[in-house]
């Protein structure tokens, strides 16, 4: 099962899964985007399940898992790729935007993992794949809510991974860098009114390829993209330099 399959990394992962011969349940809150993903998948209807759902809703999460259990009788891999963000100064953004981001990027993921575990325990080489971000290792200005949600997801994933050892369920945490998607045009809020273009990022297909290599190698954590590796490395060894650099960027922005 792949959430957030209506575009970006989620859609690329769905295509890769089909190419690897998997049956795939694709989920997204947007009916039209989910339909576009289905149209791009070269697979018979018996091997694809489309599930339109707002996974921040408890009932929708349960119905999603119930569909998979009733149709296929089990679940081997759960990929949490759905995500949302808001851009701008934390002080300029409405409090509701932070709560909405946390609901989508963290709480819905955690609770979906909870209700999927009974199926995963009986799966074949069961695995959870949580798509976090390089911003789940280093916070940056203008993305405070997004960073907070991805930090939460990263910490949750590391803790849950250990708890799943007795059940034989793996957990892969993915930390991609900036990815070439339409994420910037689908923000919950943007107090700067800037048009965020992510065309210089890594291709979502490249992220999907790395993820499946990580799945095959049963890795615990995967950093994808040169920018992600550089930022995480720099923050690990030179955190004060990174702090000064980010603060300087904010000062330059406020002076313009």
Positions marked catalytic? 146
In the DSSP assignment, the letter for residue 4 is S
Both tokens assigned to 204: 């979502």
Alpha helix (H) residue ranges in the chain: 8-19, 31-40, 58-72, 95-102, 108-121, 144-164, 204-216, 226-237, 239-255
| Residues whose CB falls within 8 Å of the CB of residue 6, separated by 6 or more in sequence, listed in order | 28, 29, 30, 33, 34, 36, 37
Q: Which of 171, 10, 157, 13 is nearest to 84 (CA)?
A: 10
| Residues whose CB falls within 8 Å of the CB of residue 88, separated by 6 or more in sequence, listed in order | 142, 189, 190, 191, 192
Contact (Cβ atoms closer than 8 angstroms) between residue 34 and residue 52: yes
Strands 77-80 and 127-131: parallel
Measure the CA–CA gap between 2 and 75, rounded to whole angstroms: 11
Q: Which residue has the tokens 């993820």?
A: 211
């Amino acid at each position: 099962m792949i959430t957030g399959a209506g575009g970006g990394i989620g859609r690329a992962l769905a295509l890769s899964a089909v190419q690897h011969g998997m049956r795939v349940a694709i989920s997204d809150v947007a009916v039209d985007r989910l339909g576009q993903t289905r149209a791009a998948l070269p697979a018979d209807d018996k091997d694809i399940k489309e599930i339109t759902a707002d996974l921040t809703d408890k009932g929708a999460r349960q119905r999603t898992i119930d569909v998979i259990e009733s149709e296929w009788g089990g679940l081997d891999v759960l990929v949490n790729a759905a995500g949302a963000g808001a851009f701008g100064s934390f002080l300029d953004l409405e409090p509701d935007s932070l709560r909405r981001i946390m609901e989508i990027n963290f709480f819905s993921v955690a609770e979906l993992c909870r209700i999927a575990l009974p199926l995963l325990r009986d799966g074949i080489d069961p695995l959870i794949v949580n798509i976090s971000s390089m911003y789940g290792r280093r916070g940056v200005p203008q993305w405070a809510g997004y960073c907070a949600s991805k930090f939460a997801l990263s910490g949750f994933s590391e803790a849950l991974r250990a708890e799943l050892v007795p059940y034989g369920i793996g957990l892969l945490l993915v930390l991609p860098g900036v990815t070439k998607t339409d994420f910037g045009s689908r923000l919950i809020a943007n107090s700067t009114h800037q048009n965020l273009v992510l065309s210089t990022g890594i291709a979502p297909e490249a992220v999907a390829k790395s993820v499946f290599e990580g799945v095959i190698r049963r890795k615990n954590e995967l950093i994808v993209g040169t920018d992600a590796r550089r930022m995480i490395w720099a923050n690990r060894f030179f955190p004060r330099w990174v702090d000064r650099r980010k603060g300087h960027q904010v000062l330059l922005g406020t002076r313009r």
